[in-house]
Amino acid sequence: MPAPKRKPAASAKTAPARANKIEDKLARLGLRSDMDLVLHLPIRYEDETQVVPIREAGFMIGHPAQVEGVVTSCEIQFRPRRQLVVTIEDQSGQLVMRFLNFYGSQTRQLAVGNRVRARGEVRHGFFGDEMVHPAYKIVLEGAPLPTVLTPVYPSGEGLSQTLLRKAIAGAMARVDWRDTLAQPLLASLELSAFEPAVRLLHNPPPEVDENALADRSHPAWMRMKFDELLAQQLSLKRAQVARRAKGAAALPVIGALSDAFLKKLPFELTGAQQKVLTEIRADLRASFPMQRLLQGDVGSGKTVVAALAAAQAIDSGFQAVLMAPTEILADQHFRKIAAWMQPLGVSVAWLTGSLRKKEKAEALARIESGEARLVIGTHALIQEAVQFAKLGLVIVDEQHRFGVGQRLALRNKGLDTTAALDSAHTVPHQLMMSATPIPRTLAMTYYADLEVSVIDELPPGRTPVITRIIDQNRRDEVIERVHAAALEGRQVYWVCPLIEESEALQLQTATDTHATLVEALPDLQVGLVHGRLKPGEKQDVMDAFTRGEIHLLVATTVIEVGVDVPNASLMVIEHAERFGLSQLHQLRGRVGRGSAASICLLLYQGPLGGTAKQRLMTMRETTDGFEIARRDLEIRGPGEFLGARQSGQAMLRFADLETDQWLVEKARTVAQTLLRDDPATVEAHLARWLGMREDFLKV
């Protein structure tokens, strides 16, 4: 149902053209319907309920005061610059109002003899007490004072508070105030009714607890937050139902390929891998699209599980695609998986932006004809030219590195092609993988339409990485240690600092570090890998490292995700204080992959700031990715933790996922009950809250 059209906010006297302009400005704030306006809540308040004598206002330095007086002079002065200077007077004293920007009409408004109510901070100027640019209005003697606090709204360009207040007051007079939630339910949740809560927030009485309003702990705010979270949960559940209503090609065959693949693996699956595989296999058999997030700490063995999911798609006669965020990682997947699959007769295609024209055309043709059963690549896969013959499964590795849009784009590759085969088969199954675990509350609010599988066990035989924090000025000792380790046959990563401002600078540092290490360690093979190398060169270096021909690999963060060289067992990270927590964890995950005890040395440049210190301590204390994610969330807060592109923009206006966690839980339970028992309430609630944000959440 479309939201009711907002009538022009201003009075009937307003010319239509102007009203339109105001509507446009309101629309830019997302305010289209009356209910949108009503739910546009103040960010703070001004107390205009009292007038103080001018003399007293002079003592309230640093606090805004409201005074009332009669104009005794009003003149435009030209020194030191053009300005309007107005003096007002009450029984207690006089005050200058100074306007550096003003309209000519203000001299008439503020003519001598008029009565003015002005609000601002008094300062002691050269010519006595004055207010610079006070808010003011002309009043008649004895005009009543407001009885409620004056709201200040979030505003946009060209929208004055006066205009917004008028528009909102108008909307409040027109909307349907009926509560979307029944009284008994509200009582059981100890929540206030909708109308009084909203009215209080727009126009609180002067005796209200202003702190509770400011930190949004007031019961009226609780009701708003609950409603918002409930709407979010309802819309997410809806999205889930809608997904289930879509068709997908069932991939029921766990056949020859899967069996042969498992037989050829040089290891047994861990219990945790087995468990998630069972979950994924069941999903793939269904004829509605899977949307599953596979979480597992760095090194927990997600790739094999992904390959087995792909095998099921292929066994069932469909294509599977695997997209990775970097060329190095995609390449590694390609080599590993192709090495497993090709001997079993599966044709694997490889697609990245750096392919030569001819190679690309070849790959595209194989993908389009369906000859390539498995396709592996980078975001080049999203490019328009890529057409699948029969795409059944989309796998996205390190999914948090991609935006929602990119993931959807890849999934949509499956839309038209499978539809041609059978109109019921519309969307491919989707498996997303991440080593950045999303804590429960976040998962519940951001990913409600996502099944989650967790690999909560590492393959056997790993020894946990020992982490040491070392001052940068002990770098020489560290180089000694690297030397000794290399002579023992260990391989070493040396990670160069992240330089946010400049990739060129980052590159320079890596090159310099490489040069100094080559010089300091003449008997070792020292390699260098960074983002600016051509993919082929990058690969050559990685290959040499994998073969053990390079002892020490100097690298930028290009090695951050996924790179898997089991013999590497020492890592040095320079300027570790500049890295984020999850990035450090990812980097550290490059060692500790084999059976040798691994060490990670975090070099830092003091003095350390508070959060940098917290991050490094966390790294020293734990290797558990879930624990690290939890601390990271604690340090950074959910918005930053997820990143804007991941969270899909300010989805929650009122609720705060950290402080309001308990409300999230309540909203979730209530959403489930309402969806089951009370569709009318669901409709009403969504109509009220989602009017302006249908794009609430698109996962």
Give φ, ψ of 122 to 5 degrees.
-85, 135
Dig out the tokens for 100 from the structure.
């550096």
Query: Which partner, ligand ADP, Mg ion, none, binds residue 204 by CB below 5 to 8 Å per kind?
Result: none
Quick one: which H or E segment has residue 279? Answer: helix 271-285
The verdict on 311 binding ligand ADP (CB under 6 A) reads no
User: Residue 34 or residue 397: which is nearer to Mg ion going by CB?
Assistant: 397
Query: Which partner, Mg ion, ligand ADP, none, binds residue 513 by CB below 5 to 8 Å per kind?
Result: none
- Binding residue for ligand ADP (CB under 6 A) from 151, 301, 325, 392? 301
Specify which residues 90 forms β-bridges with.
Answer: 93
**Region of residue 413 (phi > 0: left; psi between -120 and 50: alpha; otherwise: beta):** alpha
Per CB under 6 A, which of residues 589..628 are in contact with ligand ADP? Answer: 593
Map residues 453-472 to x or -, x wherever contact with ligand ADP holds by CB under 6 A.
------x-------------
Taking CB under 6 A as the binding criterion, the range among 39-47, 296-304, 510-518, 542-550 that sits at the site for ligand ADP is: 296-304
Per CB under 6 A, which of residues 407..426 are in contact with ligand ADP? Answer: none
CA distance 632 to 447: 19
Residue 143 is classified by DSSP as: P
CA distance 495 to 222: 47
- Binding residue for ligand ADP (CB under 6 A) from 150, 233, 270, 291? 270
Taking CB under 6 A as the binding criterion, the range among 249-257, 292-300, 387-395, 518-526 that sits at the site for ligand ADP is: 292-300
Number of shown-chain residues binding ligand ADP (CB under 6 A) = 19
CA proximity to 381, closest of 352, 411, 338, 349? 352
Count other Cβ atoms within 10 Å, centred on residue 239: 17
Dig out the tokens for 556 from the structure.
């930028």
Per CB under 6 A, which of residues 190..249 are in contact with ligand ADP? Answer: none
- Binding residue for ligand ADP (CB under 6 A) from 58, 299, 625, 691? 299
- Binding residue for ligand ADP (CB under 6 A) from 291, 303, 430, 509? 303
| Nearest distance from C-beta of residue 490 to ligand ADP, angstroms | 17
Taking CB under 6 A as the binding criterion, the range among 21-29, 91-99, 548-556, 560-568 that sits at the site for ligand ADP is: 560-568
What is the number of the residue whose Cβ is closest to Mg ion? 562
User: Residue 175 or residue 298: which is nearer to ligand ADP going by CB?
Assistant: 298
Residue listed under structure tokens 């784009």: 409
- Give residues with Cβ within 8 angstroms of 460, minimum separation 6: 270
User: Residue 437 or residue 562: which is nearer to ligand ADP going by CB?
Assistant: 562
Specify which residues 350 forms β-bridges with.
Answer: 376
What is the number of the residue whose Cβ is closest to ligand ADP? 301
Alpha carbon distances (Å) from 572 to 461, 531, 556, 602: 23, 19, 12, 6
Query: Which partner, Mg ion, ligand ADP, none, binds residue 269 by CB below 5 to 8 Å per kind?
Result: ligand ADP
Do the beta carbons of residue 257 and residue 346 sit within 8 Å? yes
CA proximity to 431, closest of 410, 415, 462, 448? 410
Map residues 518-557 to x or -, x wherever contact with Mg ion holds by CB under 5 A.
----------------------------------------
- What is the length of the chain? 699
Dig out the tokens for 68 from the structure.
């009332």
The verdict on 441 binding ligand ADP (CB under 6 A) reads no
CA distance 642 to 214: 26
- Binding residue for ligand ADP (CB under 6 A) from 139, 172, 212, 269? 269
- Binding residue for ligand ADP (CB under 6 A) from 564, 627, 656, 678? 564
CA distance 280 to 320: 14
Please spell the DSSP secondary structure of 81-117, one letter per residue: S-EEEEEEEETTEEEEEEESS--THHHHHT-TT-EEE
Map residues 557-576 to x or -, x wherever contact with Mg ion holds by CB under 5 A.
-----x--------------
CA proximity to 314, closest of 351, 279, 340, 278? 340
Query: Which partner, ligand ADP, Mg ion, none, binds residue 127 by CB below 5 to 8 Å per kind?
Result: none
The verdict on 296 binding ligand ADP (CB under 6 A) reads yes
CA distance 518 to 530: 16
Query: Which partner, Mg ion, ligand ADP, none, binds residue 299 by CB below 5 to 8 Å per kind?
Result: ligand ADP
| Nearest distance from C-beta of residue 379 to Mg ion, angstroms | 17
Q: Which residues of 476-489 are buried (b: 16+ CB within 10 A; e: fewer)?
A: eebbebbbebbeee
Q: Which residues bind ligand ADP (CB under 6 A)?
A: 267-270, 273, 296, 298-304, 435, 459, 562, 564, 566, 593
Q: Which residues bind Mg ion (CB under 5 A)?
A: 562
